[in-house]
Amino acid sequence: MVSFKSSSIQIPQKHLQLQIKHVQNMTLSSKYLQAQQKILKAVLLHFVYQEQVHCHVAKLMNTLNSLEFMVRKAWLILKSMNLKKRVGAENGDIVFFGADKAKVVNDAIGALRIKIGHDMNMSTTEWAPLWVVDFPMFEETDDGKWTSVHHPFTLPKSSVEEVKSNPGAALSVAYDMVLNGTEIGGGSLRIYTLEMQKAIFEALGIGEEEAEEKFSFLLNALKFGAPPHGGLAFGLDRLVMLMTGSSSIRDVIAFPKTKTAECPLTQAPAPVEPNQLRDLGIRLREKPKAEEAK
């Protein structure tokens, strides 16, 4: 236990450790960091200076100093970028920015933008359609590999050589139509040459043997040549949802399924006869009673 000199309040040692861990994982603004540092310093000055406490105080101070250094360094970088001029900020404005992988920052700031827009009623037109284009062809996974943003048959804007040399910079010929923030349609052009399809598989880590095993029908078809082709699919239920001012497409579907994929009208899915399952080579396993109770 660690106690204050001038108080009878007792602070468990584990609480101090949790406080250190909490500070290490926090992303702080400069002003908040300074305030937090002053409070923690004031509290720590009241601790009885035992050997074990000295160790934790040193770790905590080093953590705070490192965080303060990083915040100040980031601020200098932003200042050198002339951020205020670039975003057109004026006195009283708030500029939100993030520091992480591009996808993490884009998702976080995008969600924040939508939240603020709804809370402040910032819609400027009754109907605001737009096209979303230039989607990335690939995105990097946590283990450093590439995966398709749309699907591995989407046509990239890059050449075969560019896809092989720098997959992360490749853009796709894909497009979404968005109306008032809701996607109502989307599609893409498809790969129609064997060389490009092989380059995409290579970027995704799909070897020739695996590609032949899974997609031989497609690769064989491309050997004979295919015309440029693509498509666009609209979700009419989403369009009707917007036209009626509904908040969910379930409100405009004639016979919507429940969240468990059950149909209240037809009572589907219905029980299946054992001989039908046997013909398909399927065997059902009964859930243990204890599991059903949960």
All structural domains of the chain, each given as residue ranges with its CATH number in brackets, are 2-83 (no CATH), 96-125 (no CATH), 126-251 (3.30.930.10)
- Give CA angle at 220 (218, 223), nearest 5°: 110
Question: Could you tell me which residue, 64 or 89, shows the higher pLDDT?
Answer: 89
Closest CA to 56 of 24, 83, 29, 31: 24
Q: What is the pLDDT of residue 35?
A: 55
What tens digit of pLDDT does each residue of 146-162 get?
999 999 999 999 999 99
* Rounded CA separation 160/199 (Å): 6
Range ranked top by mean pLDDT from 197-211, 237-251, 261-275: 197-211
> Of the spans 49-63, 116-130, 181-195, 267-281, which averages the highest pLDDT?
181-195
* pLDDT value for 137: 96
Q: What is the helix (H) or strand (E) element at residue 132, kind and residue range? A: strand 129-132
User: DSSP character for 268?
Assistant: P
Give the number of other Cβ atoms within 10 Å of residue 243's Cβ: 11
Asked if residue 95 has pLDDT above 90, the reply is: no
Provide the edge-to-edge strand list for the sheet that holds 230-234.
129-132, 174-179, 182-189, 230-234
| Residue 212 scores a pLDDT above 70 | yes
Angstrom distance (rounded) from CA 285 to CA 33: 56
Q: Please write down the long-range contacts of 91-98, taking CB distance under 8 Å and 24 or more positions apart.
A: none
Confidence band of 57 (pLDDT split at 50, 70, 90)? low
pLDDT of 37 reads 55
Q: Please give the single-letter amino acid code of residue 23.
A: V
Residue whose C-alpha is closest to residue 106's, from 63, 149, 151: 149
What does the alpha-carbon distance between residue 137 and residue 170 come to, in Å, rounded to a whole number?
A: 5
Give long-range contacts, CB 8 A cutoff, 24+ apart: 277-283. none
